[in-house]
Structure 1
Amino acid sequence: MTHAHFLARRKRLLKAIGNGVAVIPTAPEVVRNRDAHYPYRFDSYFWYLTGFPEPEAVVVLVGAQPGKKAKSILFCRDKHAEREIWDGYRYGPKAAKTAFGFDAAYSIEAFDKILPELLVDRDSLWHSIGHDAGWDARISQALNAVRAQTRAGKRAPRAIHDLRAELDAMRLIKDGAELDLMQQAADIASAGHARAMRACRPGMAEYELEAELTYAFRKRGADAHAYTPIVAGGANACVLHYVENDKLLNDHSLVLIDAGCEVRGYAADITRTFPVNGRFTPAQKDVYEIVLAAQDAAFAATAPGQHFMAGHDAAVRVLTQGLIDLKLLSGNLDNLIEKSDFRRFYMHRTGHWLGLDVHDAGEYKTGDAWAVLQPGMTLTVEPGLYIRPGADIPPELAGIGIRIEDDVRVTASGCDVYTSAPKTVAEIEEVMRHD
């Protein structure tokens, strides 16, 4: 991805805001404890428009007016020789302006003084309203500074818009460069899952498999995990957001791994469930094949012109019939779906948007209508079944939790599954062979 991509996005947003001003700050650094920070990760909206990696930065987009061209302005940290000794290279405004293609760049220290000047006689102000109270206050302060000059003939913006509505729509359709980065992340994450399968043995701790993933992700060039990984052995897999990853893996049980990596901000999101000892029991295989068939049904329903929930509806139908076949539910299929009886064993949606955020930006519904799929959209497809132990649950099924998740991009004719970790029973058992 070149800086031309970021420049094109800024130009597109500038056209959308008209005679307005948009303010997009990056994420702050966050203290972990005492004077140690969490690893820095930029704000996704800011990165989408700039590609600028440093904290303490803001981009301001100023729309065109008669006789005045639209412009994009970066505010960032100054060069600081001593801090660079401790913390590393800083671009500084002058170098950042040239390197990242901005029309102007200033010190972040000048932001609160310059912003009111940029707001004078503008129709609208755009920012992420309510996202950060500190930024809401700073922007309100700038607006009030302009309003205080009314008798001098200066007018403040009268309309304030949530910038996320425009940016979410832009981010929902990925361009070729974004899809390439997401493919890189998917390839690395797929290799990590395969490595975890090969390493798995009864008696290992869940965190040992997490370590295998971390090694594979970083070894192959990923920036980091895209989210806190789930490594859930046995009944832990029935806890959807289990992240303790500190229990031992027992023979004859399954382990569910939900883990993905990030490459230049873009996430992969994969879940695989496999037997700790490398061989599915008959009951585990029965449940696994139901979930796999549900995923195939969801893939078939993921295509241009279909609404977002079509894949979920297709998966639910297969899962509910499977629950009938397992004798965990009884009754008419349509009635069971209408009453949502399946939700005892399947309680989440079958997918979500994917991109710079693992649960990416973009509306799922407008009014009563679900979003319609278009080429360039990227999403996950992740059906599951979670059979928590209970008095009415057969012992051979109790504690089985299975989720199978892949990443797909919508194409002109359907969808392309671009994650490739071993998935069928035969593939998993083959990669886990220890002889």
Structure 2
Amino acid sequence: MRHQPIDPQLFSKNRERLINSLPINCLAILNANDLMPSNADGTLPYHPNSDLFYLSGIEQEESILVIQPGAEKPRDRAHLFLRKPNPKLTLWEGYKLSKADARTVSSIYYVHWIDDFAQVFAKLARIQKGAFFLNDNEHQRAENPVETRDQRFRNSLRNRYTKRRFLRLAPHLHTLRFNKDNREITLIKQAVNITANTFKDILTTIKPGVMEYEIEAEWARAFIRKRCKFAYGPIIASGKNACILHYLQNDQPCKKGDLLLMDVGACYANYNADLTRTIPVNGKFSPRQKQVYQAVLRVLRKSISGATAGKEIKQWNTEAHEMMNEELVDLKLISLKDLKKQKPNQPACRKYFMHGLGHSLGLDVHDVSIGQTHLNEGAVFTVEPGIYIPEEGLGIRLEDNIVISGDQPINLMTEAPLEPNEIEERMNP
């Protein structure tokens, strides 16, 4: 692992919270993500299963975690299964966790080799005769076109245990993961700080003629040097490209007079940051660019202030739409007549602000939040209003990351320059 060791009590506490939410006589089983093929004999970079990591800190392929809430002794309530190291595996793939190292990382007492899984699991299933809680990717945006290890395991288990009940583990995990432990917030803050400080450095490298991919390379260099990787495919969008919400080509020149939208985040210890800033390529906003920028900035700041604990997420979005409507009228992009004709579920601002105001952030960039309807204390959210005017070749989005905390959220992204004057000063030292 590239990141510094994480306090294993985080994972121990997460398991305890899950155990307290489950029936006593059940078993809960989670599998690692697959190592995905690319072409020929190649594989894509491996990324650990977020739920398995949340409960164990384990990032190694083919791992399995079994939770048995009904065990009398706390140390008996978790069993971890790993690939057994051997000389051939070490030669070709390098270091794999020993049992002792896995115990240190996860604070799980019972660590087994994966070869013993069938025997140990059969014994646990004889003792715990209740339902099997099985995990799956139930993110609201997930399409799941490829069958996962969790899904293959479920199908295999159904054939073997035909009289057992099979229940969903995801709703329990989504509820737990939505509200972050202070140690999780510390890790997110580390990813955020690395992202914000890199942005400061990037500002001095932007000049007319630089290629979008050259800017991407500067982000990559900084992240790798700081034990990070990209949290998601970076968006480095100059000029009209900024009006493409998920622009990923990053292959065009940055031209004088254009704006550059950068939507980039670092991933540290599997926890993610998500920053967006929009800057002038030549270091100076035009009057129109600054006018639109300030409109987005006002919505950002008011939306952050309005992100109070207990507020309905739907209401939070509605308030942003109302603010954006006012800004767009002032910008002469929509009219009062447009406001009168708008429908409740299709506000007039949608023509120029077509995406959501923000999303939960954590082990996944679009973190799990099924069923969560309110801004809960301790939840981490992005706030990212934007205005996109294709006919002007102008797209501006600004994004900060906040922790919901009482009546005043904590902005984690304060180190990333935001005021247009500060951006111009840093680009023209």
TM-score by length of 1: 0.89
Higher relative contact order (CA 8 A, sep 6+): 2
Q: CA deviation at 1:323?
A: 1.5
Aligned-residue Cα RMSD (Å) equals: 2.1
One-letter amino acid matched to 1:250:
K
> 1:145-294 counterparts in 2 under 5 A?
145-147=160-162, 156-157=163-164, 159-219=165-225, 221-294=226-299
- Per-residue CA deviations over 1:342-396 (Å, capped at 9, x if unaligned) read 211110010000000000012255xxxxx2222211000000000012xxxxxxx
Does the 8 Å CA contact 2:33/2:149 hold for their aligned counterparts? Answer: no
Once residues 76 and 70 of structure 2 are traced to their aligned partners in structure 1, the CA distance between those partners, rounded to angstroms, is 4
Once residues 109 and 125 of structure 2 are traced to their aligned partners in structure 1, the CA distance between those partners, rounded to angstroms, is 17
Would you say 1:125 and 2:132 are equivalent positions? yes
Once residues 216 and 323 of structure 1 are traced to their aligned partners in structure 2, the CA distance between those partners, rounded to angstroms, is 37
Say which of 5, 14, 36 aligns to 1:9.
14
Give the match's secondary structure for 1:428.
helix
Would you say 1:343 and 2:350 are equivalent positions? yes
Once residues 233 and 145 of structure 1 are traced to their aligned partners in structure 2, the CA distance between those partners, rounded to angstroms, is 55
One-letter amino acid matched to 2:364:
D
One-letter amino acid matched to 2:153:
R
> 1:420-435 counterparts in 2 under 5 A?
420-434=415-429
Q: Percent identity?
A: 31
Is the alpha carbon distance of 1:85 and 1:290 closer, same or farther for their aligned partners in structure 2, counting shifts above 3 Å? same
One-letter amino acid matched to 1:346:
F
Name the stretch that deviates more: 2-11 or 100-109. 100-109
Q: CA deviation at 1:88?
A: 1.7
Say which of 412, 415, 423 aligns to 1:418.
412
- Per-residue CA deviations over 1:26-82 (Å, capped at 9, x if unaligned) read 112122332332222111000000011211101011121679985200111002122
> 1:4-403 counterparts in 2 under 5 A?
4-18=9-23, 19-64=25-70, 70-93=76-99, 95-97=101-103, 100-120=106-126, 121-129=128-136, 132=147, 134-147=149-162, 156-157=163-164, 159-219=165-225, 221-332=226-337, 334-335=339-340, 338=343, 339-363=346-370, 365=372, 371-389=373-391, 398-403=392-397
Structure 1 stretches lacking a partner, 5+ long: 148-155, 366-370, 390-397
Report the equivalent of 1:153. Answer: none
One-letter amino acid matched to 1:127:
L
Q: CA deviation at 1:332?
A: 4.9
- Per-residue CA deviations over 1:84-114 (Å, capped at 9, x if unaligned) read 1332211234652465322322221232444
Once residues 229 and 367 of structure 2 are traced to their aligned partners in structure 1, the CA distance between those partners, rounded to angstroms, is 17
One-letter amino acid matched to 2:419:
T
Is the alpha carbon distance of 1:67 and 1:296 closer, same or farther for their aligned partners in structure 2, counting shifts above 3 Å? closer
Once residues 210 and 74 of structure 2 are traced to their aligned partners in structure 1, the CA distance between those partners, rounded to angstroms, is 65
Is the alpha carbon distance of 1:347 and 1:67 closer, same or farther for their aligned partners in structure 2, counting shifts above 3 Å? closer
Once residues 300 and 270 of structure 2 are traced to their aligned partners in structure 1, the CA distance between those partners, rounded to angstroms, is 27
Q: CA deviation at 1:144?
A: 3.4
Does the 8 Å CA contact 1:77/1:92 hold for their aligned counterparts? Answer: no
Once residues 53 and 245 of structure 2 are traced to their aligned partners in structure 1, the CA distance between those partners, rounded to angstroms, is 30
Once residues 63 and 149 of structure 2 are traced to their aligned partners in structure 1, the CA distance between those partners, rounded to angstroms, is 15
Give the match's secondary structure for 1:32.
coil
Once residues 65 and 114 of structure 1 are traced to their aligned partners in structure 2, the CA distance between those partners, rounded to angstroms, is 14
Q: CA deviation at 1:145?
A: 2.8
Name the stretch that deviates more: 27-36 or 246-255. 27-36
Once residues 111 and 196 of structure 1 are traced to their aligned partners in structure 2, the CA distance between those partners, rounded to angstroms, is 49
Q: CA deviation at 1:143?
A: 4.1
- Per-residue CA deviations over 1:89-142 (Å, capped at 9, x if unaligned) read 112346524653223222212324443432235211111247645533433333
Once residues 425 and 211 of structure 1 are traced to their aligned partners in structure 2, the CA distance between those partners, rounded to angstroms, is 24
One-letter amino acid matched to 1:142:
L
Q: CA deviation at 1:192?
A: 1.7
Does the 8 Å CA contact 1:290/1:318 hold for their aligned counterparts? Answer: no
Does the 8 Å CA contact 1:14/1:70 hold for their aligned counterparts? Answer: no
Once residues 333 and 141 of structure 1 are traced to their aligned partners in structure 2, the CA distance between those partners, rounded to angstroms, is 56
Structure 2 stretches lacking a partner, 5+ long: 1-5, 138-143
Q: CA deviation at 1:337?
A: 5.2
Does the 8 Å CA contact 2:263/2:275 hold for their aligned counterparts? Answer: yes
Would you say 1:405 and 2:410 are equivalent positions? no
Is the alpha carbon distance of 1:133 and 1:274 closer, same or farther for their aligned partners in structure 2, counting shifts above 3 Å? closer
Does the 8 Å CA contact 2:211/2:253 hold for their aligned counterparts? Answer: yes
Give the match's secondary structure for 1:199.
coil
Name the stretch that deviates more: 285-294 or 5-14. 5-14
